[in-house]
Amino acid sequence: MEKTINFGEHLTIDGYGGDHDKLNSREIVSLVLDELPGILGMKKLAEPQVYFAPENDIKDPGGWSGFVVIAESHISIHTFPRRGFLTADVYTCKNGVDRELIKRYFTEKFDLKDIEENFILRGTRYPAENNV
């Protein structure tokens, strides 16, 4: 039988009641994407990319979208300032990510009042050894 390991962890955060100005700040979104990998002991492979996404329908009133590619996978953020909302993904091949630290960090940076989180173990049948 082939030995397997868990490939990684994927934390999704939905933040509610955030500060409009902070959610509408390209600089804060960029700062989070720039410094969070280091705080988590991860290595950036490129500088963060942040773009303004204009309003596109009733559900999406526009905001900032950004991501950073890290050696361990990626971190992404999408803000919706007019709704006081953000959604973020922290996906890593590392195990034991500090979920409480990440939630506190996002709460402090965007003055979130509430966070909804989902945590997914990724690649639960990932082979423990190369097969070629």
- Strands in 114-122's sheet, in edge-to-edge order, are 49-53, 63-70, 73-80, 85-92, 8-16, 114-122
Q: What sign results for the dihedral spanned by CA atoms 18, 30, 64, 48? A: negative
* Catalytic hit among 20, 65, 74, 78: 78
Which among 20, 65, 74, 93 is annotated as catalytic?
Answer: 93
Say whether 73 is catalytic.
yes
- Catalytic choice (30, 73, 74, 76): 73
Catalytic residue list contains 78: yes
Q: What residues are annotated to the active site?
A: 73, 78, 93
